[in-house]
Structure 1
Amino acid sequence: MTNKKFAGQVTLLLLVNVFVKLIWIFFIERKVQLSVGFAQYGTYYSILNYTLILSIINDPGLNNFLINQLSKDKSDVKQISGLLYLKIILSILYLVITLVGSFILGLEDYQLVFLLIMYQIGYSLLTYFRSFLKGHQLLNIDVIFSVLDKSILIVFFIPLLYLNTAFIWTIKFYAIAQLLAVIISLLICIYYLNKRKISVFVRKHILFDFQLIKSVFPFAVFAFLVVAYNRVDVIMLDKILDNGAHETGVYAAAYRFLDAATMFSILFASFLYPVIGKLINNKKQIEVIVKQSFVFLVSASLILAFASWFYRNPLMQLFYLEKATENLALIFGVLMFCLPLIALYYVFSTLFTAKNSLKLLNFISAMGLLINVGLNLLLIPNYQALGAALSSLLSFAIVGLLYSVLYYTYFKYSFEPIIWIKLLLYAGLLCLLGSLLTKISINWVFSLVIYFSLSTIVGVFFRFFDVKKIRKMIS
């Protein structure tokens, strides 16, 4: 397969996933939350994040190892069979540990806990079998299976959510439906692999290679710390407060938009990673590409952050109708200021990952987790969901500063002062523009369109959005 064809298929995979996830976030998740209520959804969201954090037990990097193994030797059935048996053992271990942990934490809805644990196991198995598609370079088919479970649910849920039906929503039905969609997708994937005569295991080759876990352990630790660092605030919010379920639901409603906006940074980082990796391997300078990526992502994120702040009330009213409150709008506005810091994080973490600096990444992620937990303990009791939002903003800022210092320390590069001055000036102009536009008596949608248009023009003037440079960098 040519590099150009491979890049095209990876691009398709990413874009399809982004498109389906956006539909899922705004048309399904949001509507389900409005149907079941913020408190019920808050309980679900807390348990979902708890099972997600511990899911690293279920897959400590085995899927990536499998893809690597298949790319080297597709005929080593013994090694591959051993990998599947090992994954089954880890899934059972994950089930036991997560259930015991739920008892310790006092997660009272054990049926929902079990359903979401099984969903994580099913999704992980689907990802595992999809690895065979990647390993055999069936990337076009992998695109289908990457969104099949969500697509099934979107087709199934839209009539129930948007047509006048007598159906009464519960959060357990929502969890069961997700589990069934993953199981259906998993069975279809296994059937397809069998039809293509792609061997996934042989019964006589039962081998448990626990040494493999040792080799992928640093990557597993990094994955765990990143997920815990981003998701622990939800669990703390639910457990610390007496009205934790409702506040978690409010936080989830606001965080949904940050989650959607972050996909742009993830998409960009997926293109950036192989480029930086190639430059480092060829001992070429990375300063220019890092600077261009940083400036582009941060400036674009600043536009979204300030737009979210100035138009936070009408945006929340548009999406959450009578459930929208001043508090929800404030939490949403604060959370969206995390976006430029997340963009900074993705640029520098991509750089250190390409450099294979796992110890450094684990140190930064551990620091971020400790800071986030400490700030949440301090702020959640007094400010509730707003406290969790402020904790996220402050911890992202500290981690971003740490990344910037270590970038200079390890690579001896630093951004010229003029870049920081231009970004600060740009932020000031965006703030001024938003303040002026929101004081003019015009329709807020029209005002928002003007804001985005003028912000982009100013960004082009500052040379933050140099399309030619970005196109050249990607090519």
Structure 2
Amino acid sequence: MSIYLRCMRKSVAHNTIWLTGSLVAQKVLSFVYFAIIARQLGVEETGLYVFALAFTALFGIFADFGLTPVVIREVAKERDHSQFSPSVKTRLIVSLRLKALFIVISAVAAVGFAKLLGYEERTIMIVLATSGVMMLDAIHVFAYGILRGVQNLRYEAIGMFGGQLLVVLLGGYVLFNTQSIFLLVGALAVGSLFNVINGVYHVWRAGIKIPFSYKISFGDIKGLLLMAWPFAAAGILARGYAQIDVILLSKMTGLTAVGLYAVPSKIVFAFQFIPIALAAALYPAMSRAFVASREKLSRIVQISMSYLMFLAIPLIVILLTMSPVIIKYVFGDAYLSSVILLQILSISMLFGFIDFPIGSLLNAVHKQHLQTMSMFITLVTNLGLNLLLIPRYGALGATIAAVVGQTVLFSTGLYFARNVIHWDVSVLLSRAVRMLASGGAVAALALALLPRLTSFLEYLSQSGQTLYLFAVLLGSLAGLGIVYIILIFVLRAITIAEVKTFISTYIKRNV
């Protein structure tokens, strides 16, 4: 193996470690911060805050329009990043100018559509404020895209964690003093501005120069937009699927329903970093195996699905059985109506987790269009169900639509991938049965312990021992997880030898 390839593989490993570590820390901070927001603001104000962010996030995808993935790909092609080739330099300039135009258009469109849809004046003003945050986010995403192209994710990882920490500190001060949503959005803006400064500074430090006075033609613009379009389409579908339920809830049932729905959504989404990190780690191995050996590719996909199933099942069991105490003591009594929503939504985690290897597989074998088609089918299904169920069932209808949508996404992806590799269905089913048996035993244990745990937590709550309360709650959840792991090894759903092999593959990026 050449020195260049060894350095490249080492760089990929270091980048993944940095980004995964940052993502985990950021998710923890974000979850704690949201729990504080929910408790301090109350259901309706939390719904307003969540809606404004979701609404502008929907328009945020148009601010990028697939340009950042193109920039990453084009910059990554260059060996000398201090002196780009004319074609790459042209694409960078065109991307930068189009990005500036799209950012302004997206922000104006977000506020305009909020007015067009008849939202209250205060809601529109908050959307205006969050549009400013969206503009800053679009800038730092572009800067970090350039750094990703030169395979340096360290500064992005530091920036994202640092920005989130700033948001938590400033937002926490606001929540415990004024509880102003406008100031909370201001805290978000400070975090985003920190990332803009961090990203732009390190692009400059990397010696990457983008000349602003550079002539471009209409053909350059057209060519770049054609390159960006597939990424834009995938981004629009993914963002639409992620945000459309909140927007429909806000119009059809009101902001209180959004607040109740936001809590279980946040809890379930908080664990998304697990399949995301695993998929990112195994994607290079999948790409190499596609060229070298279909048998190895099949093994990677099915092992990764097994491990994600192994991780998803205890989370589902814990959320199904322990959601009453999680909601009550983490978010407060005002959100007790969210318990049933969390229990239903947790079911989607199984398909949500094991769908990631399928998406990575389709991308690795150059069938991205099938993944986009799968997302389109899911979006249409989810939109139709939301329109049908929300008017009758409110947040419960949106929850059911989300579970069905995730099931459709997995099912269509599996259908498209059915002939790409050989599927050893018997092995997957055997593992699944043993994992479900382990999960069932843990569920029975959790239900048996729940009454006593609830009584003890209530005693701690009444006596003001908050830190002890959270320690007991976290310890109980961790204990259930440990019991599950023991049962997994006892039933040989996964063996220790398989775990060692998997960890070795994950770290070394080798197959």
Shorter-chain TM-score above 0.5:
yes
Name the CA shift for 1:79/1:425 in 2 (closer, same or farther; >3 Å). closer
Q: Is the 8 A contact 1:276 1:351 kept in 2?
A: yes
Q: CA-to-partner distance for each residue in 1:184-235, whole Å, 9 max, x for gaps?
A: 4313443454455431332354666232111121121112112211221111
The answer to whether the 8 Å contact 1:67/1:132 transfers is: yes
User: Which residue is equivalent to 2:317?
Assistant: 306
C-alpha change, 1:418 and 1:197, in structure 2 (3 Å) is closer
CA contact (8 A) 1:47 1:116 kept: yes
Matched ranges for 1:35-434 at <5 A: 35-73=40-78, 74=81, 75-76=83-84, 77-108=89-120, 109-161=123-175, 167-194=177-204, 197-205=207-215, 209-241=221-253, 244-285=254-295, 286-325=297-336, 327-408=337-418, 410-434=419-443
CA shift, 1:137, in A, is: 4.2
Q: By how many angstroms is 1:459 displaced?
A: 1.8
Count of residues in correspondence between the two structures: 466
> For 1:138-188, what per-residue CA distance to the aligned partner results, in whole angstroms no more than 9, with x for missing partners?
433332223332122223334555xxx6x2112121112212331243134
Give the distance between the partners of 1:447 and 1:34, measured in 2 at CA. Answer: 22
CA distance in 1, matches of 2:201, 2:280: 30
Distance 1:203 1:148, change over 3 A: farther
In 2, distance between residues paired with 1:448 and 1:153?
28
SS at match of 1:462: coil
Cα pair 2:237 2:375 within 8 Å, conserved: yes
After superposition, give the CA deviation of every residue in 1:25-45 in whole Å (9 maximum; x if it has no partner): 22x122122222211221221
Note the alpha carbon deviations across 1:238-274, whole angstroms, 9 max, x for none: 1111xx2001001111111111111111111111211
Instruction: Please say which of residues 13-22 and 190-199 is displaced more in the overlay.
Output: 190-199
Structure 1 residues 424 and 371, CA, compared in 2 at 3 Å: closer, same or farther?
farther
Name the CA shift for 1:136/1:453 in 2 (closer, same or farther; >3 Å). closer
Q: Alignment identity in percent?
A: 18
Is the CA contact 2:63–2:103 (under 8 Å) kept in the aligned structure 1? Answer: yes
Over the aligned positions, Cα root-mean-square deviation in angstroms equals 2.3
Residues 1:201 and 1:39: Cα distance change in structure 2 (over 3 Å) = farther
- CA gap of 1:190–1:299, structure 2 versus 1, over 3 A, is closer
CA–CA distance in structure 2, aligned partners of residues 136 and 413 of structure 1: 36
- 1:456 maps to 485
Ranges in structure 2 where 5+ consecutive residues have no aligned partner: 1-6, 455-472
Shift of 1:98: 2.5
Q: CA deviation at 1:382?
A: 2.5
The answer (yes or no) to whether the contact 2:51–2:250 under 8 Å persists in 1 is yes
Output the TM-score relative to the length of structure 2.
0.85
Distance 1:253 1:51 in 2: 19
Q: CA deviation at 1:421?
A: 4.4
Equivalent pair of 1:85/1:206 in contact (CA under 8 Å): no
Report if aligned partners of 1:84, 1:201 keep a CA contact under 8 Å in 2. no
Q: Name the CA shift for 1:447/1:190 in 2 (closer, same or farther; >3 Å).
A: closer
* Structure 1 residue ranges without an equivalent (≥5): none
